[in-house]
Structures are given as structure tokens and as C-alpha cells.
Amino acid sequence: MPDTGLSDEQEALRRSVAEFAREVVAPVAAHHDEQRSFPYEVVAAMARMGLFGLPFPERYGGMGGDLFSLCLAIEELARVDSSVAITLEAGCGLGAMPIYRFGTEEQRQRWLPALCAGEALGAFGLTEPEAGSDAGGTRTSAELVDGAWVVNGSKSFITNSGTDITRLVTVTARTSPASSPSGRTSPSGGGGGPPREISAIVVPVPSAGLEVGPAYSKVGWHASDTHPLTLTDVRVPADHLLGERGRGYANFLAILAEGRIAISALAVGLAQGCVDESVAYARSRRAFGQPIASHQGIAFMIAEMEARTHVARTAYYDAAARVLAGRPFAKEAAIAKLVSSAAAVDNARDATQIHGGNGFMNEYPVARHWRDSKILEIGEGTSEIQKLLIARHLGL
């Protein structure tokens, strides 16, 4: 059984971020959600706390923590605002982590200090209009010409890609397209041809030829920055190749495996936020002459919400513990992602029901939780992909 107790240092971090979430994030969450505005003042305050450097070594300006520390912070932020939580998760896990994991020392020294300080944000360009769950089918290409990579293609649903402090986006691109026996390029190595060589390349923002499209009109995560990207003959120096040539896709899969644990923490935070709001509302809302909390139907619904949250939290704690111990964790990360995202959606639905008509009003946090929850069953690998990964680990 995993030890789910927190050390004194971890508990101090959790309490610090919880207080920050209540006092700094919560008062402006509804405003930014309604205005669909990026919360620069909140991000700046998070940067001053050192949250963007949590899982990175001090020599790069980080806090010397680990993945679990980051997850604790993400969970507490998501209890009140998932947009802020995903901004931190993507900034650390998707923007900075690939550089730390796979970059050269020169690349780390060049880019990590600003990212760890929260002075800059990085983005992760994997998904494309026709390459989502099948991200190995990327059509973006990069050709080495006169000492520079010339990148062409498009990316979709890229978090933190269009803010005023976005400074880089790491993209996956075909650096050597494979051909089938017929001479046609194979989308992902099928049709009898060898697999495509997919590499990762860091593209500075801004760059000539890099177009950041209009922000998406999303169902939820309104205060999170999300844009499509178009790259037209974007030239970047050859030394912006991140990691070994041809290993970009495999490396990003490793990043996504850890990212699923962080997303699980976010989902648990949202699920817990739904419990918090439902308990408070059930105690204060009266019907038939008494608080609705005294009605067994309401009390049992909230009890089930708390049980889902506890199970999901235990799952992500276990997956994170495996990472820190250097043990295999891919199956457990998929389980945590599957269980926690379902808990978030189910809790958001039930919290809305408990609030009745008020749950359909955007002035109540549960309405925002309801809109924010669904993406958790889609982003960083759909629930169906998680089931596929789990089944494969079982030899199916």
C-alpha cells in the first residue's frame, strides 16, 4: 500500500498554496472566467512564490522539488480555478520539463531560468488538426537547410502559446519522412514503409513565419490561454533540436506519461472543490424547513463525491510515488488519469444537481467546475486511450 501521508515540508507547501488559492485566485476567478482573460496578475504572484520552478533544480532557478510537489500545488489551485491550475501544469510539465529532461546543458542554461522564474512561459506543440490521439501521424515537417531548421505545419489546442510572456514552443516535426514501397509517404510508418523520423525542435516566440491564431472559444478553461499555431518556413538554428534526432515523439510520450499524473492532480482538485462547495451549500440552503444537508438523498450524494475524490487522490499519489522511486509507472499513471477525470466529471455533475437552479448560474463556482471538468476526459490522452494503455500493460 502507498504511504499517502505528507511530510512536514509537503504539508507546509500544500497549506501555503491552499491559502494562496483562497486569498488570491478565488476572488478573481469568476471575473477572468467571464471575461475570458488571462490572469497575468495571478501568474505573476505564482511566479513570486516560486511555483513555476517547483520541480526543477536550484541551479536553474528552480525550487529543488519534484513531481509530487508540483502535483500538490496543482491540486490546491484546481480546487478553486482549473484555468490557473492548467497554466501552471502546462508551464512546468509541458513547457519547461522537455528542456530539462532532454535538453543539452547549454539549452537548459539558456531557457530554464526564465521559465522557472515564471518570467516566461513555454508551450508544447504536439497535437495537430489531423493528429490528436494518433500524434505519431504528425504532418509538420522540418528540413535542415544551411545550418537552420525550416519548419512548416500547424498545431492545434496549444496551451500557453499566445500570452504576452510566451517565449518558446517546442514542436514535434518530421525530420525525415518515410516512404512506402509505392513512393507515398506513410502517415505513421504504416503501409509497409519504415516509421517516420519525428524530432523535437524549440521554436522561439516570436519567430518570422510563426502565426498564433485567434484564441479558441472554449466550453471551459476560459482563463487559460489556448491557440492554434501555423508555421510557414520558420527558420530556427540547428542547435534548437531538443534531444536526439528522431527521438522527439518517444521523448514526448515520456513527458505525457508524467503529465497524466499532474492532470490527475488537477482533476482531484476540481473534484474536491465540488465537494467543498456542495458541503457549504447544503449546510446553508434550506428546504422544507431545514438545511438540505439533513436530507439523506443530498448527504449520500456528497458522501459518494468524497469517496470518488479519495480514491482518485490515492491513485495519483501512488503513481507519483512510483515516479519518485524510479519504478515503472505508465500503467498507474493511466489508471490515475482515467479514475480522476471520471471523478471530476461525476462530482461536477452532482454538485450542479445539489445546487439546483443556482448550479446553472455562472455566479456559483460549481457552474465553472462543470464546464471545466469535461476536458479532463480528453486532454493529455482521452479516457479511451488510457483504457488502451492499461489493457496493453495487461497483455491484451
Residues noted as catalytic: 380
Specify the pairing of strand 197-204 against strand 241-242. antiparallel
Q: Cα 366 from chain centroid?
A: 21
Q: Burial code of 340-352, b = ≥16 C-beta within 10 A, e = fewer?
A: bbbbbbbbbbbbb
| DSSP annotation of 91 | I
Measured CA to CA in angstroms, residue 50 lies from 39, 64, 73, 117, 222 at distances of: 17, 10, 11, 7, 24
Nearest-angstrom CA–CA distance, 84 and 160 = 11
| DSSP annotation of 247 | B
- Segments of 147-196 assigned E as strands: 148-159, 166-176
Contacts of 82 (CB under 8 A, 6+ apart): 220, 221, 224, 266, 269, 270, 368, 369, 372, 373
